[in-house]
Amino acid sequence: MDYLAELNDPQREAVIHTEGPMMIIAGAGSGKTRVLTYRIAHLIKSKQIDPFQILALTFTNKAAAEMRTRIEGVIGAEARNIWMGTFHSVFARILRSEAHYLGYPSNFTIYDTDDSKSLIRTIVKELNLDDKLYKANVVYSRISNAKNRLVSYQEYNSKPMYMSDDMEHRRPKLGEIYKLYCERCFKAGAMDFDDLLFNTNVLFRDHLEVLNKYQHRFKYVMVDEFQDTNASQYLITKNLSGVHQNICVVGDDAQSIYAFRGADIQNILNFEKDYPNLKVVKLEQNYRSTKNIVHAANCIIGYNTSQLKKNVWTSNDEGTPIELIKSASDNEEGKLVATSIFEEKAQHKLHNSDFAILYRTNSQSRAMEEALRKLNIKYKIVGGQSFYQRKEIKDLLAYMRFTVNHNDEESLKRIINLPKRGIGATTVNKLIVAANEQQLPLWEVLQQAQAIVPARAAGAIAGFVTMIQRFAVDVQNMNAFDAATSIAKGSGLLRELYADRTVEGLNRYENVQELLNAVQEFVEDDEEVVGGQEPKDKQLGTFLQEITLLTGQDQDKDEDNDKVTLMTIHMAKGLEFKVVYIVGLEEDLFPSQMMLSSRADLEEERRLFYVAITRAEEKLYLSYALSRYRFGSLKYCEPSRFIDEIDPKFIKVSSKFGGVSTQPHTTVTSNYATNLVRSTQNNKQVTKPASTHTPSPNFAPSDTSLLETGMKVEHPKFGFGKVVNIDNSGTSKKATVVFENVGEKTLLLSFAKLQIHA
């Protein structure tokens, strides 16, 4: 197979340049997966590099599996020997081998988000803190952000800036919670997801012999989706490539949309500062989308100031113009989108799976779902509750996890009275207090419960201890499936679910059976582990690690795939569809109201819109509503500023959407959107409006009850203007403002966001 012949010139350059640091800037649809795949194949096939010396890091198991399959197609079974996987899975494996350096057992438990939040709630309760102020989500996010920035609890509690910030938010005990959380995890022999990266950095920092070992093992380090890395991930990859300097990062700053998860766009923007001799290759040819879609995307991203300049182009057909859907309400928006899908399917013989509806927030799916159901169009929502998050599944997994690791207190607390066996909350709390006072694992205290709790409870606990000990023997002597089946039956969970003959009970029973099927598949799968150095471990502990590291997309096993896909834009990253609908393009919704306080936030929203546009292959629809129910109230809406940022020659308003019903309202409607409708009807060219306004760095809406005629104001979209009239008649107060760039606008003051300037 002549894989180099399949590549264009920049792609080939990226593949054959193997020595030294390199950054591949890969525009949307430019074939970056192919380049990364062939580059690895080239190292092995042409450069005779041992696959064991190559480390390739991805952000999803799905991406890793796809790349491994492609590489295997070029070089054969040797592809199985590459160290390839997600950051978390690869470094979990390294930590399994090196955990003793950090004082952890090699079979440490990996806490998922729910486990972590449960532990936080326990600590908050023990400290007698207000759980409404110290919400588990908020505390967990704060701890996670600290770890991603490599801030330990010791540093956190010694820096006035963190303490001051917590005081300002009325959570002065947050540092203490962080400390107790880390101590409890360590005591339980557990790491959360962030610890897998945080502790890898600690391992490499404090044990240079370990770092040196892996620096020499991995002669070539490659990172996919580099724009999504956080500080912790970047430091690991930088350290690992410190000896050979053969680091290759692939990414697109224009698709950096995960700042809320800790991703730092500066990693890719400033990569050259760490590597002055950096080789940069730009993949600018888009193979996915039509010219109209590519040009529209370029228009959008051109408004961002923080970016690596590139000129994305395509040799694909011109394609149809982007269609703009204007509707009176969110419900009507749903109907118009569903009707459009119905008509597109009929006219162009498309399948449901060719369509995607993308939105900014999950709550927008309701109107879309109702409209699709009425037209009997099958759909699926990506990002709903995953299989492994269902209660009955987490219950059985907790049994398995505690059997494997008796120090896992969160799992123990979940299962000790499940099914009910007479061990109530009061008894459990006594045992926890005793464990804390004696500085012992809760499991050890359970084995001396007769000295702590009444005889009846002590008897029930003794039975539980004996059962777990029996399960532990099974885990040692059986494969994962046989051990899991023994636990499911012996615990009483399977029997209790089977006894519930309701529809819900049967579903839960079938879900547990499906989990056991997954364990069976794991046992029967003969593929070697990442790195390929030993046969795949069939033990239950290994299965538990693999499923804990799964992503939401990896868990989708729906057999009927011919469905319209509904998802948030964040979930759509990396996907593509023939026809895409981006709905809810309204100010305060997209861009989000929460992302208008700084230029950096607004530019991230614009990158999110860029990602949405570039999911479309053949046809793109943009949709907005003039009114929408939000938080229980009907809100009048302004079209998103992002619509204005697309050159009007790439957009049209179809006649089937031009005559939508509207209702009287006093809201600002974008001049551009209004003129666009007229221009379509009159076949006249529309002049692109002046550049939209970016709010001042200190922009914050003022109290509009203080507004007076003659005042100078700033609007987040329309810029600076002067108030020329205030109308107090009717039920709503309105102001007429003459803006410097867009002229006169009448605004509902209960809705508009204005900052008063002196």
Residues with active-site annotation: 32-33, 224-225, 255, 615
User: Hey, how many other C-beta atoms are within 10 angstroms of the C-beta on 682?
Assistant: 10
Give the strands of the sheet with 651-652, arranged side by side: 379-381, 564-568, 355-359, 577-582, 616-625, 322-327, 651-652
Amino acid at 122: T
Residue with tokens 């997994």: 397
Secondary structure of residue 758 in the 3-state scheme: coil
Instruction: Mention every residue, 6+ apart, whose C-beta is less than 8 A from residue 711.
Output: 722, 723, 756, 757
Beta-strand (E) ranges in 413-546?
A: none
| Phi, psi dihedral angles at 720 (to 5 degrees) | -95, 145
Residue whose structure tokens are 């969160």: 410
Dihedral sign computed on CA atoms, order 596, 597, 601, 603:
positive
Check if the beta carbon of residue 27 is closer than 8 Å to that of residue 284. yes
Q: Measure the CA–CA gap between 678 and 99, rounded to whole angstroms.
A: 67
The residue count for the chain: 758
743-748 and 734-739 as β-strands: parallel, antiparallel, unpaired? Answer: antiparallel
Structure tokens at 638: 């302004």
What are the φ and ψ backbone dihedral angles of 637, each rounded to 5 degrees? Answer: -125, 150
The Cα diameter of the chain in Å comes to 89
Q: Which two tokens stand for residue 660?
A: 């939508």
How does DSSP assign 195-247, residue by residue? HHHHHHHHHHHH-HHHHHHHHHH-SEEEESSGGG--HHHHHHHHHHTTTT--E
Query: What does the block give as tokens for 735?
Result: 């102001």
What is the number of other CB atoms lying within 10 angstroms of the CB of residue 53?
A: 18
Q: Phi, psi at residue 719, to the nearest 5°?
A: 90, -145
DSSP per residue over 239-297, as a string?
A: HHTTTT--EEEEE-GGG---GGGT--THHHHTHHHH-TT-EEEEE-B-SSS-HHHHHHH
515 contacts 396 by C-beta, under 8 angstroms: yes
Map residue 586 onto helix, strand or coil: strand
Q: Where does residue 451 rank: exposed (0-12), middle (13-18), buried (19+ CB within 10 A)?
A: exposed
Helices (H) and strands (E) in the chain, counts: 31, 22
Asked if 289 and 282 count as a contact pair (C-beta separation under 8 A), the reply is: no
Backbone angles phi, psi at 405, to 5 degrees: -135, 100
Percent helix, strand and coil across the chain, each to the nearest 5? 50, 15, 35
Q: Which of 292, 216, 230, 226 is nearest to 58 (CA)?
A: 226
Of the chain, the end-to-end C-alpha distance in Å amounts to 70
CA nearest 620: which of 375, 293, 361, 368? 293
Burial pattern 714-744, b for ≥16 Cβ within 10 A else e, equals: bbbbbbbbebeebeeeeeebbbbbebeebee
